């Protein structure tokens, strides 16, 4: 008997080849399905990761931006108005998106209404402050003048990333809110040993030390928390924009173009910032132009 002759088992071999082909086709189909499924999962995973990143970034941005809150009390005009006896006028807090309420000038024209827009990092503001603070305090204390101080933060980006200009203006707002009659003293104290522009400025702890050293003794813990939390920073930013966009109330000025901007009875002072006699003369002239001609013109400090 001859085993395995030609032609033996052909049907079986053909069936095995056909079965192998079917199996291979099934494997290819199965692999393609798996590849498509993996691709879908991969794309879905990437999309989910992208969404997660967007959500995370959004949360970080939202948490880093303080929502607009009310302004400080006693600064409804965007400034603190100090009058006779160095007493600050009391006003309610300015609500978010509300327009400031300009202070009303003295109707008789007998009182010099001095208005100063200051940035606590501005060196020229420091020059004016150092030259004129004492005589302004004398005029205001005696009732010959009022002074309205508007803290703005134009130089926020000029303090090595610490935003000193913004933080100092916020601190002034904190004092106005909690201890208004100490506002003038604190504002003046910020110009003593004034930090130089482009320097980091004072830290929050150093600003709080200035609060204590300037004689503020009311609500110190509230003021310190207000400084640390940056409570009125959004208000400072809004008030700065209002001053830069204008118009300037009770004045022909469209807007401020820098600091210090100084007005007396609505008239801008453009003289020397370091000559107190020149400024006193300007105040006297401004009074003479608004005061009744039937009454002698008062002389601030005279």
Domain membership flag for residue 1: no
Six-digit token string for 142: 């005696």
- Number of compact structural domains in the chain: 2
Least reliable range by pLDDT among 39-43, 250-254, 265-269: 39-43
Mean pLDDT, range 76-89, rounded to an integer? 98
Find out whether 81 and 148 touch, Cβ atoms under 8 Å: yes
Higher pLDDT, 161 or 297: 161
pLDDT band at 66 (very low <50, low <70, confident <90, very high): low
Q: What percent of the chain has pLDDT over 90?
A: 69
Give residue 202's domain range.
80-293
Of 12, 39, 65, the one marking the end of a domain is 65
Domain membership flag for residue 131: yes
Spatial CB neighbours of 152, under 8 Å, sequence gap ≥ 6: 117, 118, 119, 169, 236, 239, 240, 243, 244, 256, 259
Domain membership flag for residue 10: no
CATH number of the domain within which 236 lies: 3.40.30.10
> pLDDT tens digits, residue range 111-155?
999 999 999 999 999 999 999 999 999 999 999 999 999 999 999
Mean pLDDT, range 18-45, rounded to an integer? 70
For residue 48, what pLDDT is reported? 47
For residue 36, what pLDDT is reported? 73
Of 65, 100, 120, the one marking the end of a domain is 65
Least reliable range by pLDDT among 13-22, 84-93, 286-295: 286-295
Say whether both 41 and 141 belong to one domain. Answer: no
Say whether both 267 and 141 belong to one domain. Answer: yes
Q: Please determine, for residue 55, whether its predicted confidence score (pLDDT) is greater than 60.
A: no
For residue 35, what pLDDT is reported? 75
Find out whether 122 and 273 touch, Cβ atoms under 8 Å: no
Say whether both 106 and 164 belong to one domain. Answer: yes
Domain membership flag for residue 299: no
Find out whether 153 and 197 touch, Cβ atoms under 8 Å: no
Q: What percent of the chain has pLDDT over 70?
A: 79
Q: For residue 288, what is the DSSP state?
A: H
> pLDDT tens digits, residue range 35-51?
776 676 566 555 444 44
> pLDDT tens digits, residue range 168-220?
999 999 999 999 999 999 999 999 999 999 999 999 999 999 999 999 989 99
Say whether both 110 and 251 belong to one domain. Answer: yes
Q: For residue 275, what is the DSSP state?
A: -
Domain membership flag for residue 6: no
Domain membership flag for residue 89: yes
pLDDT band at 159 (very low <50, low <70, confident <90, very high): very high
pLDDT band at 84 (very low <50, low <70, confident <90, very high): very high
For residue 243, what pLDDT is reported? 98
């Amino acid at each position: 008997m001859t085993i395995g002759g030609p032609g033996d088992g052909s049907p079986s071999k053909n069936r095995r080849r056909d079965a192998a082909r079917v199996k291979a086709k099934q494997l290819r189909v199965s692999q393609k399905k798996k590849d498509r499924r993996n691709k879908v999962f991969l794309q879905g995973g990437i999309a989910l990761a992208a969404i997660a990143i967007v959500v995370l970034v959004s949360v970080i941005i939202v948490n880093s931006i303080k929502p607009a809150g009310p302004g400080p009390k006693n600064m409804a005009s965007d400034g603190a108005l100090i009058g006779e006896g160095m007493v600050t006028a009391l006003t309610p807090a300015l609500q978010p998106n509300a327009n400031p309420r300009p202070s009303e000038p003295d109707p008789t024209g007998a009182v010099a209404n001095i208005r100063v827009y200051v940035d606590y990092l501005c060196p020229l503001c420091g020059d004016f402050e150092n030259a004129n603070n004492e005589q302004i305090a004398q005029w205001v204390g005696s009732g010959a003048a009022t002074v309205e101080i508007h803290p703005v933060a134009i130089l926020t980006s000029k303090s090595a990333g610490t935003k000193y200009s913004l933080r100092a203006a916020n601190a002034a707002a904190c004092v106005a809110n909690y201890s208004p009659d100490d506002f003038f003293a604190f504002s003046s104290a910020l110009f003593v040993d004034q930090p130089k522009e482009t320097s980091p400025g004072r830290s929050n702890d150093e600003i709080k030390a200035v609060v204590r050293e300037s004689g503020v003794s009311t609500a110190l813990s509230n003021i310190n928390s207000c400084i640390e939390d940056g409570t009125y920073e959004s208000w400072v930013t809004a008030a700065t924009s209002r001053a830069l966009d204008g118009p300037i109330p009770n004045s022909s000025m469209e807007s401020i173009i820098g600091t210090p901007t100084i007005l007396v009875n609505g008239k801008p002072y453009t003289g020397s910032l370091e000559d107190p006699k020149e400024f006193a003369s300007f105040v006297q002239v401004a009074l003479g132009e608004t005061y009744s001609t039937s009454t002698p013109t008062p002389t601030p400090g005279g």
